[in-house]
Homo-oligomer: A and B are copies of this chain.
Amino acid sequence: MNYHEGKHKFIQAWGTLGSSWGINKVMAQIHALLLISPKSLTTDDIMEELKISRGNANMNIHALMDWGIVEKELIVGERKDHYRAGKDIWELARQVSRERRKREIEPILKVLGKVQSVTGKSDEVKEFKTVTSDLKDFSSKIDGALDKFTRSDKNWFFKMLLKL
């Protein structure tokens, strides 16, 4: 397979995967592009590679920076901003976990905590409290494990995965 084809396949696949996990396709594609690029890229590079508008490129680059998985790199003597993605996959997974935990797990835990205060003793209320409580317990455990993971040492994590 030639490079051009492989690159295209990878960027497409990464975009599709992103979509099915609630991440905007172009955002995932820009990330894929930066991941495999040996040098940092400008907005114009990204626009051209992915055939997207300036506004779209700019917004998604910023979303990636908000997620903490892409950063600006200032190149001396160059006017344009350059962007690059970290190449360490474990670091990437850690950062994504950190963000999703903050953005999604914590809010749902908050709701599950609140609805525990529902009053009544009908079957419906009993079932509601049991299920939401179980859900809260489970989510808390996952939350704790993710917290541990995002703070853990790379080697420890890989050893643990293997031992699993």
Contacts and interface: CB of A to CB of B under 8 A. Distances in A.
A161 B145 contact: yes
A130 B108 CA distance: 37
A55 interface: no
A35 B129 CA distance: 11
B22 A132 contact: no
A93 interface: yes
A104 interface: yes
Interface residues of A, number: 59
Contact of A2 (B20, B38, B119): B119
A75 interface: no
A78 interface: no
A131 interface: yes
Interface of A: 1-3, 5-7, 9-10, 13-14, 17, 19-22, 35-38, 87, 89-90, 93, 103-104, 107-108, 111-112, 114-115, 117-120, 122-128, 130-132, 134-135, 137-138, 141-142, 144-145, 148, 158, 160-162, 164
